[in-house]
Structure 1
Amino acid sequence: MNILLIGATGSMGKTIIDVCKKLDEFKISAGIGENSGFETSFPIYQDFSLIKEEVDVVLDFSNHRLISDILKFSIENNKPLVIATTGYTEEQIREIEEASKYIPILFSGNMSIGINLLLNVVENLSKSLPEFDIEIIEKHHNLKKDSPSGTARMLFKSVNSGRDNSLKELYGREGSNLSRDKREVGIHAVRGGTIVGEHTVMFSGLDEVLEVTHIAQSKKIFANGGLTACRYIVNQEVGLYNMKDIFKF
Structure 2
Amino acid sequence: MIRVIINGCCGKMGKVVASMASSSPDFEVVAGIDQNQCQCGFPVYKSLDEVNEDADVVIDFSYHTAVPQLLKAAVSKNLPVVVATTGLDDEEINSVIEASKYIPVFRSVNMSLGINVLLSLVKEAAKVLSNDFDIEILEMHHNMKKDSPSGTALLIADTINKVLNDKKEYVYGRHSKTDLRDKNEIGIHALRGGTVVGEHEVIFAGHDEIIKISHSARSREIFGNGALFAAKFLVNQKPGLYDMESLVKKG
Which range, TM-score by smaller chain? over 0.9
Provide Cα deviations, 1:104-150, integer angstroms capped at 9, x if missing partner: 11100001010011111101101111211100000000000111111
- TM (norm. structure 2) is 0.96
1:25 Cα deviation from its structure 2 partner? 0.7
Where do 1:78-117 residues align within 5 Å? 78-117=78-117
- AA in 2 matched with 1:28: V
Q: State the partner residue of 1:15.
A: 16
Quick one: distance in 1 between partners of 2:166 and 2:227? 29
Is residue 4–residue 30 contact of structure 1 (8 Å, CA) maintained in 2? yes
Q: Which moved more, 1:18-27 or 1:190-199?
A: 18-27
Q: Supply the AA of the counterpart residue of 2:5.
A: L
> Which residue in the other structure is 1:248 paired with?
249
* 2:54 is aligned with 1:59: no
In percent, how many aligned pairs have the same letter?
45
8 Å contact kept, 1:30–1:43: yes
Measured in 2, the distance between the counterparts of 1:60 and 1:164 equals 35
Q: CA RMSD in A?
A: 1.2
Partner residue in 2 for 1:192: 193
User: Would the alpha carbon gap of residues 220 and 185 (structure 1) be closer, same or farther in structure 2, given more than 3 Å must change?
Assistant: same
Deviation digits for residues 134-176 of structure 1, max 9, x if unmatched?
0000000000011111111110011112223511111111114
Alpha-carbon distance between aligned partners in 2 of 1:176 and 1:246, rounded to the nearest angstrom: 41
Any residues of structure 2 matched to 1:157-168 within 5 Å, and which? 157-164=158-165, 166-168=167-169
Q: Secondary structure at the match of 1:203?
A: strand
Contact 2:173 2:188 in 1 (8 A): yes
5+ residue gaps, structure 2, are none
Q: How does 1:100-249 map to 2 (within 5 A)?
A: 100-130=100-130, 131-164=132-165, 166-248=167-249
TM superposition outliers: structure 1 runs of 4+ over 6 Å: none
Partner of 2:30: 29
- Whole-angstrom distance in 1 between the partners of 2:183 and 2:9: 44
**2: CA distance between counterparts of 1:92 and 1:40?**
28
Letter in 1 for 2:114: G
TM-score normalized by the length of structure 1: 0.97
Deviates more, 1:192-201 or 1:114-123: 114-123
1:73–1:176 CA distance, 2 compared to 1 (3 A): closer
What's the offset of the Cα at 1:47?
A: 2.7
Q: Matched residues in 1 for 2:141 and 2:156: separation?
A: 16
The separation in 1 between residues aligned to 2:237 and 2:47, in whole angstroms, is: 28
Give yes or no for contact 2:6–2:18 (8 Å, CA) kept in 1. Answer: no
Matched positions, count = 248
Q: Counterparts of 2:70 and 2:35 in 1: how far apart (Å)?
A: 15
